[in-house]
C-alpha cells in the first residue's frame, strides 16, 4: 500500500489536503459497493446523478479502515508541524457514494461540517472550488473546508465518474452559533 498526505492550498477559511491511496484492492471494494448501492437519492440533492443514501458507508468496514489510515497520516503530518500533538479523532456525520454520467453535474454548494472529503475512483472531472480547481485521479482523497463553495461541471464525455464523500469534524471541535459565520 502507498499513501501520501500533502497540503495543497491555503484558503482564508482553512486548508486543503490531498491524500493518495494506491491500495487497488481496497479501492475496488469501495467502488463496487457504490455501484451496488446507488439509487435512494438519485437526482434528489445537489448531486444531479446517481447517489446512495447519506449514511451508506458509515458502518462499512472497508471505509472505516480507509479513514483510520487517513487519520493516522494526518496525525503524523500534524506532529511534524507541532510537537506533542494529541491523537487525532474525528466524528463522521455521513458518508455516501455517487456516480455521475454524461449530462450529470453537482450544483455549487457548501457543507455544514468542518471538513468535506471526496475519494475519487477516476480522473474524469476536476473538483471546482472557490479557491481553485483540483484535478482528480484514482485513489485521491481531497479534503476541503466545509464552508468552501464547490461543484462539478456537467460531464460532457460518455463515462462514469465515481466518488465516495464524507463530512466530518475533529472530535473536540464544537459547533456554535458563530460557526455559520466562519
pLDDT digits over 82-111, tens only?
A: 445 566 788 999 999 999 999 999 999 999
98 closest CA partner among 1, 156, 32, 164:
164
- Confirm whether 87 is domain-assigned: yes
- Confirm whether 106 is domain-assigned: yes
Tally the domains of the chain.
Answer: 1
pTM for the model? 0.87
State the cell numbers at 25: 484492492
Tell me which residue range forms the domain holding 17: 6-181
pLDDT band at 69 (very low <50, low <70, confident <90, very high): confident
- Confirm whether 1 is domain-assigned: no
pLDDT digits over 135-160, tens only?
A: 999 999 999 999 999 999 999 999 99
- Confirm whether 58 is domain-assigned: yes
- Confirm whether 170 is domain-assigned: yes
pLDDT band at 170 (very low <50, low <70, confident <90, very high): confident
Give the Cβ contact number of residue 182 at 10 Å.
12
| Domain CATH code at residue 126 | 2.60.120.620
pLDDT > 50? residue 79 = no
Give the Cβ contact number of residue 84 at 10 Å.
5
- Confirm whether 71 is domain-assigned: yes
- Confirm whether 158 is domain-assigned: yes
For residues 93 and 128, the answer to whether their CB atoms sit within 8 Å is: no
CA separation, residue 156 to residues 44, 101, 136 (Å): 21, 9, 16
Amino acid at each position: 500500500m502507498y499513501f501520501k498526505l500533502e497540503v495543497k492550498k491555503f484558503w482564508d477559511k482553512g486548508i486543503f489536503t490531498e491524500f493518495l491511496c494506491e491500495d487497488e484492492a481496497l479501492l475496488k471494494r469501495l467502488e463496487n459497493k457504490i455501484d451496488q448501492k446507488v439509487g435512494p437519492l438519485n437526482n434528489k440533492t445537489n448531486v444531479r446523478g446517481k447517489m446512495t443514501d447519506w449514511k451508506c458507508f458509515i458502518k462499512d468496514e472497508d471505509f472505516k479502515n480507509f479513514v483510520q489510515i487517513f487519520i493516522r497520516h494526518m496525525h503524523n503530518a500534524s506532529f511534524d508541524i507541532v510537537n506533542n500533538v494529541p491523537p487525532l479523532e474525528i466524528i463522521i456525520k455521513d458518508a455516501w457514494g455517487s456516480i455521475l454520467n454524461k449530462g450529470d453535474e453537482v450544483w455549487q454548494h457548501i457543507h455544514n461540517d468542518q471538513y468535506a472529503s471526496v475519494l475519487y475512483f477516476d480522473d474524469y472531472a476536476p473538483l471546482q472550488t472557490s479557491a481553485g480547481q483540483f484535478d482528480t485521479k484514482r485513489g485521491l482523497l481531497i479534503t476541503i473546508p466545509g464552508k468552501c463553495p464547490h461543484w462539478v461541471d456537467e460531464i460532457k464525455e460518455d463515462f462514469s465518474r465515481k466518488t465516495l464523500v464524507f463530512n466530518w469534524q475533529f472530535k473536540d471541535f464544537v459547533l456554535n452559533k458563530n460557526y455559520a459565520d466562519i
